[in-house]
Structure 1
Amino acid sequence: MIVLGRIVAPHGVRGAVKIHPFGDDPLNWRSMRYWWLGSKPDSTQDSDWKVYRLESLREQGSSLVASFEDVADRNAAELLDGLFIAAPREDLPRPGLDEYYWGDLIGLSVVNAQAQTLGSVSKLLETGAHDVLQVEMGEGKDKVERLIPFVAAFVKEVDLRLREIRVEWEADW
C-alpha cells in the first residue's frame, strides 16, 4: 500500500471528510474508484485497511474534501477522523519524471558527494515550503537524525533501482 494522505476532520453534516494530502496533484485520485482507510500507515496487512468507494472529491484551499458511499452523515464521518488513505501501487497513476511516491522513498539509503552514508529515510515531512527527508542512522543514544530539504539544491539523484538518494549534504551538518 502507498499512503497518500490523512483524514483530518469531518466536513459538514452530510458525511464528507477533510483530507490532508501527502504530495502533489491529489485530484488525480479521482481515477481511483476505491480508497483504503486505516490507522496503521506502515501496515501491509490487508486486514488493517478497509475499502471505501469514492463518491466525490474536490479541492478546498490546500486540502481536499471527499465523500464516500455508506458514509451518510457527520457521525459516520467522525469515525474516519485521523485515518490514513492508501491504495495499492497498481491502482495509482504512474509518477512523472522526477516524481516519487513518499512510500517509495522510505527506507532508501542517503549518501553524500563524499560517498558517506548519512542513514536511511525514515519518513518525509511536509513543511509548506517543500518536503523534507527525515534521515536516521544508528540506534538508541548513538542515533543521529538529519532533516534534509527534498529540493534540487540538495537532492542530486534518486535511484530507486539502487535504493539510494544522493545528496549534497555534509556528514556533520
Structure 2
Amino acid sequence: MTAMVIMGHVANAFGIHGWIRIYPYTENTDGLLDYTSWWLGKDNNHWHEMQLITGRTNGNQLDVKLKGCENREQALQLKGMQIAVPRNALPGLPENGEEGYYWSDLIGTEVMNLNNEKLGTIVGLFETGANDVLRVQNGKSDTQELLIPFIEQTFIKKVDLKCGRIIVDWSPDY
C-alpha cells in the first residue's frame, strides 16, 4: 500500500443521520474536502477506504457525510479514527532545494526550545491571517496548550522531521 498522510481525525458524530465532525490538520479548514476518497484507521493501521458524499466547514472543523454511514450509531463507531489520503494524491511540494512539508507532517512532532527543554508535542495548527500558529500540548494537562507563532527565523529555528523535532525560540511560561 502507498504511504498515507494523516489529514485529520473524527472528533465525534454530528446529528442523527450519520454525519461526523472532523478536526482537519490541513492549512485550510476545507482542504480535506478536495479529496473524494478518504482512508480511515487507527494508529496508522488497518486503513479502509470511504467515499465523501458532502461536507461543509463549521468554524475550524468540518461536518461531513460519508457513504455507508447512515445513522448516529455508525457515526459514533468512527469517533477517534484518523483520516488519511495517499501521499501521491497530494499536490507536489516545492522543488527549490528547500525541505518541504505539509501541516499534517508536523502533527505529533516534539517541540524543544533553545534551552533543550521539551515544550510538548504539536497537536494542530491554525491560520490567523498574519501567520500560522502551532498548537503544542505539553502532556501535563489535556486542556493546557502553548500557542507558538509559526514564523521561521523568528520563533521557529529548525524543523527536523527526520528526528521528529522542531526547535523554537520560546519559553515554557510565555
Calculate the TM-score normalised by the size of structure 1: 0.65
User: Contact between 1:133 and 1:150, CA under 8 Å: does it hold in 2?
Assistant: no
**2:157 corresponds to which residue?**
156
C-alpha change, 1:95 and 1:56, in structure 2 (3 Å) is farther
Provide the secondary structure at the position in 2 that maps to 1:54.
Answer: strand
**1:31 corresponds to which residue?**
34
Provide the secondary structure at the position in 2 that maps to 1:90.
Answer: helix
1:61-110 deviation digits (Å, cap 9, x = unpaired): 22100111111222211211121111221122346898632325756896
| Structure 2 Cα separation of the partners of residues 109 and 59 of structure 1 | 29
User: Contact between 1:134 and 1:148, CA under 8 Å: does it hold in 2?
Assistant: no
Provide the secondary structure at the position in 2 that maps to 1:5.
Answer: strand
1:1-173 maps to which residues of 2 (within 5 A)?
Answer: 1-40=4-43, 43=44, 45=45, 48-94=46-92, 100-103=102-105, 112=114, 123-126=121-124, 130-133=133-136, 149-152=148-151, 153-158=154-159, 165=166, 167-168=168-169
User: Contact between 1:15 and 1:67, CA under 8 Å: does it hold in 2?
Assistant: yes
The alignment covers a number of residue pairs equal to: 155
User: Contact between 1:19 and 1:63, CA under 8 Å: does it hold in 2?
Assistant: yes
* 1:6 partner amino acid: H
C-alpha change, 1:163 and 1:79, in structure 2 (3 Å) is closer
* 1:100 partner amino acid: Y
**1:156, CA displacement in angstroms?**
3.4
Q: Which has the larger radius of gyration?
A: 1
| Structure 1 Cα separation of the partners of residues 83 and 165 of structure 2 | 26
1:101-130 deviation digits (Å, cap 9, x = unpaired): 232575689684xxx8667x9841348783
Provide the secondary structure at the position in 2 that maps to 1:49.
Answer: strand
Q: Unmatched 5+ residue regions in structure 2? A: 139-145
User: Contact between 2:38 and 2:49, CA under 8 Å: does it hold in 1?
Assistant: yes
| Structure 1 Cα separation of the partners of residues 71 and 107 of structure 2 | 37
Identity of matched residues, %: 24
**1:17, CA displacement in angstroms?**
0.3
* 1:49 partner amino acid: W
Calculate the TM-score normalised by the size of structure 2: 0.65
User: Contact between 1:102 and 1:124, CA under 8 Å: does it hold in 2?
Assistant: no
C-alpha change, 1:13 and 1:154, in structure 2 (3 Å) is same
User: Contact between 1:2 and 1:88, CA under 8 Å: does it hold in 2?
Assistant: yes
Q: Unmatched 5+ residue regions in structure 1? A: 136-146
